[in-house]
Amino acid sequence: MRCLERRLSIVHPHSLQHLHTVPASQEREKIPAKPPGSFRLLHTADWHLGKLLNDRSRDEEHAQFLEWLLVVVQDHEVDAIVLAGDVFDTANPPQSALARYFNFVSELFRQGDCALLAIAGNHDSAAQLEAPKQALHALNTYVVGALAEDPQDRILCLPDAASPRVAIAMVPFLRDRDLRVGKPGETAEEIRASIIEGIEKRYRETAAAAASLDCPVLATGHLTVSGATISDSEREIHIGGLGAVTPGSFPAAFPYLALGHLHRPQAVGDNPGIRYAGSPIPLSFSEASDRKQVRVLDVVGDTITQHGLAIPVSRRLVQLRTRYAELEKSLKELQPETGSLTTWMEVVVEDATLQDDLVERVRQLTQGRDFEVLKVLRGSPSAFTGMNVDEATDDEAIESLLGDPRAVFKRLLEEHEEPLEAQEIVELEMTFARLVELEEQSEPHPVV
């Protein structure tokens, strides 16, 4: 499967390839039949198996998505799935999430000849993802948790190395140790520059390793590209947003970058070849209006055509913002759409006081309705400093903090009784980030 097993000597300049994309107005239409001679890929990302929302499991939603995905693979003759990181929501996911993942892998293998290629995201443990690597290989599943040191080892050829029709540069989430060697006394700007330089270097050397292949070479990634929009459920990947790169950071040799990390499906800027698949379900109420999708790519020779395929909504999230005097009227008039699972709602009463018993009042006003209110919040949304949030509510921002030790540490530094110098903060954050990284990449803790 790896191109390393048989290197080809023919040089082909893929920077001249043509990339077609379906207009946004057509992305929700049924995708066309698989073209003759096409190798069909499906790009997905950010499954976040094991995710909770206000302590409520998302397992039913994930189960319905994965069942749908198996049908899509069969009905649309998909040859390979590319999963661009954040398979799980935490480095040590619950047993139910692990079971859901392995059951999907086995069902996909039994169903037919479709490969699964998965990279680690910033939520994943590289060690845990790669632990069953050899067993998964036998099931036509290929996982990359940590960046391979030899760039040649990052290239996977499909359907095989002897006669590749497409190659995938498997670049996982790049951790600080993959990008730079820290130096005492570095400023925040110097750290930012070295991180970006490190990311660009990894992609350049990976592109060079695939330059001799006589087929299109696509790349994966799990990072933030400037120009894309975010939601509040995305953690900062690098400290202070230092790791955000530009679309120009990627070599032209990659006609398509299958990205993960940002949960809204989107192309970056006006480049249809730099694409976030987005998460398959809304992971927070700020994503309630997102149209979730997977991307389907047809590779015929040097031409890549892509389409968006909408994911059916199993559970809708609804966010209602109102004022206290209008609360009853707003709730009575609310007729949210429903899916196969009960709709969940968040109610934000922007002018409520501490004296108002909001939870009880909302409970009475929604009794007997066909949706469930998970959150009742007071006041306008406020974003915590340093968090990648657009309009997070207090509750969502706190949830993000509790799920991210780096953000909690940053908050402690900001609230230190003796103000710290900017350089001291950066150095402390870098040290703490390395400690967290070591913990996340250690062997998974046994479940007692």
Residue 233 burial (C-beta neighbours within 10 Å; 0-12, 13-18, 19+): buried
| C-alpha pair distances (Å), 444 with each of 96, 129, 130, 330 | 15, 10, 11, 47
Does 48 fall in a domain? yes
pLDDT at 394 over 80: no
Residues 322, 352: Cα–Cα separation, whole Å = 10
Give the pLDDT mean for 240-251: 77
Query: What band does 437 get if pLDDT is binned at 50, 70 and 90?
Result: low
Answer yes or no: do 91 and 219 share one domain.
yes
Answer yes or no: do 280 and 368 share one domain.
no
Answer yes or no: do 38 and 174 share one domain.
yes
Answer yes or no: do 217 and 151 share one domain.
yes
Domain boundary among 367, 387, 403: 403
Answer yes or no: do 210 and 300 share one domain.
yes
pLDDT at 151 over 50: yes
Answer yes or no: do 198 and 144 share one domain.
yes
Mention every residue, 6+ apart, whose C-beta is less than 8 A from residue 277.
Answer: 43, 44, 45, 46, 84, 258, 259, 260, 265, 293, 294, 295
Answer yes or no: do 372 and 340 share one domain.
yes
User: For 249-287, what is each residue's pLDDT tens digit?
Assistant: 999 999 999 999 999 999 998 889 999 999 999 999 888
pLDDT at 237 over 60: no
Answer yes or no: do 182 and 295 share one domain.
yes
Q: Which amino acid is at 235?
A: R
Answer yes or no: do 251 and 166 share one domain.
yes
Give the pLDDT mean for 307-315: 95
Sign of CA dihedral 169, 170, 172, 175: negative
Backbone φ and ψ of 2, nearest 5°? -80, 140
State the total domains in the chain.
Answer: 2
CATH number at residue 162: 3.60.21.10
The pTM for the full model equals 0.81
Q: Which amino acid is at 221?
A: G
Q: Give the least confident one: 121-135, 139-153, 387-401.
A: 387-401
Does 181 fall in a domain? yes
Does 111 fall in a domain? yes
Does 418 fall in a domain? no
Question: Domain range for residue 396?
Answer: 317-403
Say if residues 405 and 123 touch (Cβ distance below 8 Å): no
Domain boundary among 257, 275, 310: 310
Answer yes or no: do 111 and 180 share one domain.
yes
Say if residues 152 and 211 touch (Cβ distance below 8 Å): no
Domain boundary among 277, 295, 310: 310
Does 184 fall in a domain? yes
Say if residues 354 and 378 touch (Cβ distance below 8 Å): yes
Answer yes or no: do 299 and 341 share one domain.
no
Answer yes or no: do 183 and 292 share one domain.
yes
Does 412 fall in a domain? no
